[in-house]
Homo-oligomer: A and B are copies of this chain.
Amino acid sequence: MVTIADVAKHAGVSPSTVSYVLSGKRSISEQTRSRVEESISALGYHPHAGARSLASSRANVIALVLPLRTDMHVPILMQFATSVVTAAREHDHDVLLLTNDEGPDGLRRVARSALVDAVIVMDIELNDSRVPVLREVGLPAVLIGFPADPAGLTCVDWDFVAAAARCVDHLADLGHREIAFIGPPSAVFARGTGFAQRTTSGFESAVARRGVRATVRPCDPSHSAVRDTVKRLFDDHPALTGLIVHNEAAVAPLLETLRGLGRHVPQHVSVVAMCPEDLAGQVSPRLTAVPIPAEEIGRRAVELLMGKLERAAGVPPATLIAPHLLPGESTAAPPA
C-alpha cells in the first residue's frame, strides 16, 4: 500500500507537509505543493480512511437511514438516496446505507464506533423512536420530515401545506367550484406520518380561503379501491369538476377509471397530482402536477448536515422546500 511516507519521500518533503497539502490547513509554497501533488498522482496515493479517521476523529462518512418498509413510493426513495450520495461526494463524504431493521441500535452502533460523523434519517414519524437515540449519542443529524417535538433537531421537508394549497389555487383560478382530494391510504394517516395530516390541513384551509366546496378521501392503491372511491365521489357530488390526487399508486388507476366512466380529462374533469415529475409525464394525458422534489430535498439535507459538521451553529432548525406547479394537459376550465 502507498502511504503518506512514500509520498513524502518521493517528493522530498516531510509527511506532515503532504498532509497539509491535502487538507489545506496551512499555507504551502506553490513549488512544494505542486511537487507533492505530482508525487501523489504518480504513486496513485489515497489516504487510508481508517488511519485518517483515527487521527482526526472524522470519518468523512455519513449514514443514510432508509425505511425498509415498501408502502412508500420506491422510486422517490431511490431519488433521495442518489441525490444524497451525489451531494455527499461533492463535499468529500461517502454514504453508509442503513435500513431500519436494526432500529435505534443501528444508529447507536455507527455513532459509538465512529463509523460515521453524522446521519440523515428518512421517513420520520410523529413519535419516532430514533429521535431519542439521536439526542442521546449527540450524533449530528438531519431528519427528512418532522417529529411531533422537533426541539433541538434539524429537519427538512417538502412544504406539504403549501403544495396542497397550490393545487387548490390552480383549480380555483381555473374556475372550479367543487373539488375533491384523493389522499394516501388511511393506514398512512393512522401510522402517524406527519405529512399526510399537513397536506390535508393545507388543502382544507385553502378551500376555505377560496370558498370552494371540497371533499377529502383516503384511498387504497388497488385498482378496485380507486374505482370505488372515484365512482362514489361522483355519485355523492355530481357537480365535481376537479380532483387532486396525492397517492402515486392511484394515479394510473384513477385516469383509467375516469376513461372508463367516459369523463374526459381535462374537458369534463381536471386532475392535479402531487407526485414525482416522471410519473406525471408518463401517463396520458400528461398531468398538471406539483412534483415532489426528491432530488432537492436530498441535496438540501446533505448541505444542512455539512453545515452542522463545519459550523455547528447557524443551521436553521426547520427547512421547508417550496412547491411549484408544473403545467400539464390534465387541467382546464370546468365545463359550462
Distance between Cα atoms of A107 and B155 in the complex (Å): 32
With A59-B50, A256-B256 as known contacts, state yes or no: A99 contacts B85, CB within 8 Å: yes
- The contact of A112 among B46, B54, B59, B97, by CB within 8 Å, is B46
Q: List the B residue with the shortest CB-CB distance to A55.
A: B50
Verify if A86 is at the interface (C-beta below 8 Å from B): yes
Whether B49 and A59, one on each chain, are in contact in the complex, defined by CB atoms closer than 8 angstroms, is yes
Chain A residues 94-122 with CB under 8 Å of chain B are: 94-99, 101-102, 108-110, 112-115
Residue among A2, A50, A53, A97 with the highest chain B CB neighbour number at 10 A: A50
Determine if A267 is an interface residue (Cβ-Cβ < 8 Å): no
- Is the C-beta of A317 less than 8 angstroms from some C-beta in chain B? no
CB distance from A68 to the nearest CB of B (A): 5
Q: Does A284 contact B (CB under 8 A)?
A: yes
- The reply on A52 being an interface residue by CB < 8 A is yes
Q: How far is the CA of A59 from the CA of B94 in the complex (A)?
A: 14
Does A64 sit within 8 A of B, measured CB to CB?
Answer: yes
Number of copies: 2
User: Are B78 and A99 in touch, CB under 8 angstroms?
Assistant: no
Write the nearest CB–CB distance from A294 to chain B, whole angstroms. Answer: 12
Number of residues on chain A facing chain B (CB within 8 A)? 53
- Cβ of A47 < 8 Å from any Cβ of B? yes
Contacts of A70 in B (CB 8 A): 75, 78, 278
- Give bound CA distance, A268 to B239, whole Å: 40
- Which residue numbers of A lie inside 8 Å of B, CB to CB? 1-2, 44-54, 59, 61, 64, 66, 68, 70, 74-75, 77-78, 81-82, 85-86, 89, 94-99, 101-102, 108-110, 112-115, 221-224, 252, 256, 278, 282-284
Q: How far is the CB of A250 from chain B (nearest CB, A)?
A: 12
**Are B94 and A82 neighbours in the complex by a CB distance under 8 Å?**
no
Q: Establish whether residues B94 and A96, one from each chain, have CB atoms under 8 Å apart when the complex forms.
A: yes
Given the complex of chains A and B, what is the CA–CA distance between A78 and B74 in angstroms? Answer: 7
Q: Which residues of B contact A86 (CB under 8 A)?
A: 68, 99, 101
Q: Which residues of B contact A112 (CB under 8 A)?
A: 1-2, 44-46
Pair A51/B54 contact, Cβ less than 8 Å: yes
**Closest CB-CB distance, A256 to chain B, in whole Å?**
7
Contacts of A223 in B (CB 8 A): 282-284
Given A1-B114, A70-B75, A85-B97, 8 other A-B contacts at CB below 8 A? A44-B108, A49-B114, A54-B54, A70-B278, A74-B74, A86-B101, A94-B98, A94-B115
- Interchain CB contact under 8 A, B54 and A50: yes
Q: Is the CB of A49 within 8 A of B115?
A: yes
Given A99-B85, A256-B256, residue A114 in contact with residue B48 (CB < 8 A) = yes
Residues of B within 8 A of A221 (CB): 282
Which of A52, A82, A222, A252 counts the most B-chain CB atoms under 10 A from its CB?
A82
Q: Are B222 and A47 in contact, CB atoms less than 8 angstroms apart? A: no
CA distance A112 to B40 in the complex (A): 12
When distances are taken between beta carbons in the complex, the residues of chain B under 8 Å from A85 are 97-99
Cβ of B94 and Cβ of A95 under 8 Å apart?
no
The 4 closest A-B pairs by CB, nearest first: A50-B53, A46-B112, A50-B54, A46-B113
